[in-house]
Chains A and B, each alone.
Chain A
Amino acid sequence: MAVIIFIVVLIIIIVSINSYNHKRNQELIETVTSLDRGTNSELNLILKLLKSGVNHKTIFHDLIIKKQNDKFSQVDIVLATTQGIVVIEVKDYSGWIFGNGHQNNWTQGNVRAVIEKGDDNEVVVQNYSDYYPFGMQMQGRTLSSIPYVFGYQGEFAEYDAENSLSYFEARMWDARIARWHMMDPAGQFASPYLGMGNNPVVSVDPDGRIVPIIIPIFIGAMTNAVIQNYQGNINTVGDLFGSMAIGAASGAAGYGAGAFVGGLIGTGSSLGGAIASGAISGSAGGYAGGFILGAGNSWSNGSTLNEGIQAGFSTGSKGAISGAILGGVFGGVQYMKNMAVFRKGLSELGVNASEVVPATDEFLHKARELWYSKAPMESVYKFTVENVSHNRLSIMNDNGAAAMTVPLSKGGILTGRSNVYFHHVNAFSSAKRLFHTMGHEFVHVSQFASLAGFSRSVLTPEVIDVMEYHAYNYEYTFLGSGNYGGFSSSDVLHLSTQYPDLFNSLNYMKFPWTYKANYSNPF
């Protein structure tokens, strides 16, 4: 009883103090303006000015000014100082106001693109950019005729083009190596240089201190709810909340494991190293999240404990693979999208996934249009199974190869174009094999296209390994081929540190046709 009385008295005291403070603040504001004028944000700002020592006689609120065209304009707050007049426009936005002398109006919030009206009333794009997951601008997909410092990182930081760093409140961020330049003052992760928990898809780091974990939990919850509903497993409100809880746990676990492993790997001494460590931490996160997702869904759908564990391991493995791309989320989405495209293509081609398909150019091209409509065909000169020379068949026979991509050169310089030859038996043994083979070869086509202008001598054994690693990684992760080319994580780390630039530029993630789902920063 005494405890209850104590709590009640405490509440009364707190309410009284708040009430007194509120009344005092109102009196203070009324020395400048009426409480029924303007917005709460304006009144709060006036209160802040007064409390910071600004004389109430120098603050003018909610002024109406007559313009030259006899119309009126409203000004929120004007501050008279010895240095001049300060005009303050108060907005209840989280973001920034952006503009320059060429624009008629200011732009509010975070700007995705800036356009202007041209001389002939056409729309002229002045500023836009696409970004890699950790915030580095994509070359060739960025236009900045007007300097703009709030891009990928939004309102949280200013980008400094001189040193390519983003200045957050607590630290400087380097999007090229995906690491902070200073240690974490909050000490949140095993490595003090990790950003966004090493998982930019589901996390934000607003000021360089604490990464809130609520977002991955939310994403996990909503994603699993949608998937379970799509699969017909949600019939009651209880089912909905159950699936959300499983997804939330998956999101939290995936996030935590990914960040933990990312911390153990360290900071990454190069761009390639950073990419590799990101991939490995992502796979760890993907596995942990995938296990809980698979096991949880299995149990909730009535499976036994053992079946649930098996489903967990299965989904966990898939999660680890897809996680090697972007923390176990992006890869999974791409895989599902690609499988949908593959199945739709099978239907239109009138074949089954596991059956032998016709080894003709007609079938090859039709399948290509259905499965890889955005493939880089502009960089392909020959794409054939019917016109393969005896010598090429011999080479492919010797190795049991399904296809080969041959770069074209002129005067010893790679032109960026390639010929793609398919083996009439090995590549066409099943529709699925052809689907995987095509995807693998198209990665090589894009890689050779990106090497246009290089001497042929750039194609050393280790650079070939880099190219093969990315092609197998694409085939394995996005297409689910089960063939990883025998590369281990130590191989990846070795190649990425030995050839950081090429490891980065030959990555299949550099080629937009490889991902069918568009990712946009939702935060």
Chain B
Amino acid sequence: MNSKIVLVLLLMFVFNSLGAQEVDINLSIKWEKKETFLKLDEDVIEVPYLKIEYKNNSNENICLKKIIHDNYYLPNSCGALINVERPVDEKVLSELDFESTIFFYDLYHHIAYDDTINENSEIELPLINVRLFNLYKLLSTQKHLDENDLGVQLKIFKYKNKPYVSYRDAVRLLSSIYNEPTSEELNYVFIEPYGTISYKVSLLGMRLTNRNFTIGIAPFMLIDSSVNSIRHLDEYYVFPDADSIYVNFAHLKSYK
């Protein structure tokens, strides 16, 4: 594993051993069987979900930066710009020979690393980021099409009674009706004393790459250093110290 990941793991262990944590963030993987809606050979597809559980162990109102914003699909940073008549459509389901079988996924930067990478030098991202970017772009677009009852599907899906639409036309349809929520709830989680909040996010894109992932986030990424507290629903919520946050890692095993 690269040195940065080891360092983060070590720091988390040290912080965790210092005493009781104000906030526990538990990352875990939950699998759900669903009828196959992608153009795959399987009739039933097992979809992994990342469950993110925030547990406030203190008697204070606590807020943190939200780890995921979509509540359904992970965002991903683009690894490269490919000169092609867009979009990629079904090509994203083809098998690729990625650099590694195991990746570390940074939930804050939305980037997958492997142990070939030294983040202290100037690097290209592993190509798996290109694949994840394109997969999630299509998956989240279809999700928004379904949520808005637009009755169309992208070409990587095989819903019954839904005509196909190109990715660009789908984006065009959604741009006229889909408004990104902009409230503070999109950016923060607010946890009452001794309260628990959980979200889940689909890891289908990761599973479709057939690679294993260790998923995590460094605690200090969850703190907003520019403010001490945020007023929400007529109450103030404070940011805890980074060293009072404990985050465990989740492990997704999808490699055949």
Contacts and interface: CB of A to CB of B under 8 A. Distances in A.
**Residue among A398, A441, A471 having the largest count of chain B Cβ atoms under 10 Å:** A398
A229 B133 CA distance: 53
Interface string B55-99: 000000000000000000001011111111110100100101111
A488 B81 contact: no
Contacts of B125: 406, 409, 456
A456 B77 contact: yes
Contact of A391 (B77, B97, B133): B97
A444 interface: yes
B111 A412 contact: yes
Contacts of B168: 486-487, 491
Given A408-B124, A409-B123, A483 B85 contact: yes
B123 A405 contact: no
A419 B125 CA distance: 11
B78 A491 contact: no
Interface in A488-508: 488, 490-491, 494
B232 interface: no
Contacts of B123: 408-410
A31 interface: no
A366 to B, nearest CB: 21
Q: Which bracket fits the contact residues of A? A: 35 or more
Q: Which bracket fits the contact residues of B? A: 35 or more
Contact of A403 (B83, B122, B124): B83
Contacts of A391: 96-99, 127
Contacts of B75: 457, 460
A468 B137 CA distance: 15
Nearest to B180: A498
B175 interface: yes
Contact of A402 (B79, B84, B133): B84
Contacts of A406: 79-81, 124-125
B119 interface: yes
A419 B123 CA distance: 10
B130 interface: yes
A417 B123 CA distance: 10
Contacts of B119: 410-412
A390 B133 contact: no
A398 B80 contact: no
Interface string A423-449: 000000000000001001100100000
B79 A401 contact: no
Given A455-B109, A488-B172, A490-B172, A415 B82 contact: no
A405 B121 contact: no
10 contacts: A394-B97, A396-B84, A398-B91, A410-B121, A411-B120, A468-B86, A485-B86, A486-B166, A490-B172, A494-B172
Given A406-B124, A457-B75, 13 more contacts: A394-B97, A398-B96, A399-B82, A399-B88, A402-B84, A404-B83, A408-B124, A410-B119, A412-B111, A444-B81, A456-B111, A457-B108, A486-B85
Interface of B: 75, 77-86, 88, 91, 94, 96-99, 106, 108-111, 119-125, 127, 130-131, 133, 137, 166, 168, 171-172, 175
